[in-house]
Structures are given as C-alpha cells and as structure tokens.
Amino acid sequence: MNNFPLFPDQASTFAPQIDLLYGVLVALSLLFAGVIPFVILFLIVKYHRSMKADRSNPVHSNLKLELTWSIIPLILALGVFTWGALLYIDMRRAPDDTLEVYVIGKRWMWHTQHPNGKRENNELHVPIGQPVKLIMTSQDVIHSFYIPAFRIKQDVLPGRYTTMWFEATRAGEYHLFCAEYCGTEHSRMGGRVVVMSMADYQTWLTTPGEVILPDGVDAVADGGVVAGPAVGDPMALAGQQLFTNLGCVGCHRDDGAGQGPSLVGLFGAQGQLADGSTVLADENYVRESILNPNAKIAAGYQPIMPSYQGQLSEDQILQLVAYIKSLGDTSGN
C-alpha cells in the first residue's frame, strides 16, 4: 500500500492547512450524511405503526431541540466557511519577498523563465523556504497549473495574467500537471517541480544548459517559446533592449517630456485615465497597454501609441513587463 498513498506528499506551507480543512469537511459530511440517516431510520422503525411503542404522550414541538439542530449546524457551517475564506485570502496574497517566475502555457507544454533569464520547459526549479510567485499566461487555450504536493492549482488564461504563490518545505521532485482539458494531447502536458536548497538553486541558476522542446513543438511557429541556452539575459535587461529596439524610448522618456507618460515608478501605482477613472498599473494593465493601447488612455496624453498585437511573442511581452517593473514598483512587491 506504500505505492498508493491516500494523499500526495505535503511539500508546501499550504498543504497541511488544506489537508486539515479537507479532513474536517469529510468528518462533518460523514456526521450529517452517515450518522443522522441511521438515527432517522431507527426512529422510523421504532415508531412504525406495527411496533408496540408508547404513543400516549406525543411531542408536537420542542423549542430547545429545534434551536439546537438549527444553531449547531449553522455555527459549524459558518466556522468552516470562515476558515476556508481566511485560507483562500492567504493563498491569494503573496508576501513581499517573493521570487517571481514567469510561466507560459501552450499545447502541450509549460515554459518557465526565471528573472535572470534561465528558461525551462516542463520543469520548474525552486528553492526551499522561499516564497515563489508564478505570473502565468496561456499562448492558446485555457490551461491549469497544478502541483498536487503543494495543494495549489490556478487556471492559466489566454490574453491575461493570473498569479499564484507557494513556499516549498521539502526538497525533492514533485508532479506538475495541467488540470484543464486543453486538447487531444492534454494528458502529455505534465512535468516536474524540483525543490532544492537555496545554495543549490543559485548554482543551478548560473549553470548553462539547453532547453529541450517536447516532441511536436516547433521552435519558430510556437510564438517565441524556443530552445536555446538555458541561461540568457536577465528578463529586465532583455526587456530594456526590446524597449529600445522598438523605439519606445522616444515617447516614454524618463523625464516625462515625451509624447507618452514616463514609466518610472509606474508599476504598482494608481494611474489617472483620460475619462477620469483610475487604474492599478499591474501586469495585466501593462500587457493591455502594449497590445491594445487605446483601451485605457493616460490622462493628459493623446491616443497615438500603435498596437503591438501580433508583433510580439509571449516571451517578449513578459520581458517588457519585467523591464517596466524594474523601473520602480511602488506596491512593495
């Protein structure tokens, strides 16, 4: 039976908390769905008209009993709801000192890139004891990034970024799956998460290697998810080079004297729009501003920025996002 564990390994800070909550839900379910029906069945049999039972003093109401079976389940339900809500909030709020890793899902592989430019396909190396935040998008259809041993799962959507975070607590290798049916080869879209010590992780980050593409994945036709040296330019530096090559520096000058707003200190701040509303400059806002710049016009500027829809790969968009974030993150993340 050791080869068929009831649960996957508990390898993150969330895993014990989620398992405990799950155990409480199962126990309560067994109580209400398992014990109470037998009590009802016992009373049905005991007081059946064919049974000799004392019916001389029938009880028509019992306020204390009715309050008891109403209030106790209510308290249990509210308690479990509050517990689950607090855990959910904790899972959605990443700490300030997270290591950010960018993830692109595509049929049928996971492509990950670390801040220093190191890339992986169908693998994710992370240090133990360090909060890791994944910033994810899809290149085609909806996928779902799922690590059972960490008890985390998040849909990965085309056209926008979703995030999740975790902190690994045990070194080792763990399964990585796509938990959303995404096509004929969905079952092949898996990989592994490798948890290592911080020293080993730093060594791995600076070790050159080759990124191997799965069978059937074309390095050119698949929108920039390419093979090559596993250690490249840091993402922010690659984004800066791309920012310059595209001519963005001509409009988005650091001193704010260009035809577009300065991007220094933009990320994480609340920006004023031409229609009087405000918007948080997060990853999704930056992405939308690159691909559909007229969707949200910054106050005081004209809608003259061209769209780069179809001109940039997902990798390149993420590099631009990383560069803009490096210019100043006022959110503290």
Which pLDDT does position 65 carry in this prediction? 85
CATH 2.60.40.420 location in the chain: 99-205
pLDDT of residue 46: 80
pLDDT < 70 positions in the chain: 1-5, 209-232, 329-333
Q: Tell me 130's DSSP state.
A: S
pLDDT at 231: 53
53 burial via Cβ count (<10 Å: 0-12, 13-18, 19+): exposed
Residue 278: its pLDDT value, please? Answer: 93
Tens-place pLDDT, residues 173-182: 999 999 999 9
Model pLDDT for residues 20-39, shown as the tens digit of each residue: 999 999 999 988 888 888 88
Q: What pLDDT is stored for residue 207 in this prediction?
A: 82
pLDDT of residue 331: 46
Check if the beta carbon of residue 208 is closer than 8 Å to that of residue 229.
yes
Length of the chain: 333
- The token pair at 184 is 């004929």
CA neighbor of 236 nearest in space, from 110, 122, 113: 113
For the chain, give every residue range classified as CATH 1.10.760.10. 235-326
The whole-number pLDDT of residue 192 equals 95
Query: What is the CATH number that goes with domain 99-205?
Result: 2.60.40.420
Closest CA to 243 of 322, 139, 138, 330: 322
- Which residues lie below 8 Å from residue 100, measured CB to CB, with a gap of 6+? 115, 132, 133, 134, 135
Q: Would you state the CATH architecture of domain 235-326?
A: Orthogonal Bundle (1.10)
Q: Any alpha helices (H) in the chain, and if so which ranges?
A: 14-30, 36-46, 63-92, 198-205, 235-245, 283-291, 314-326
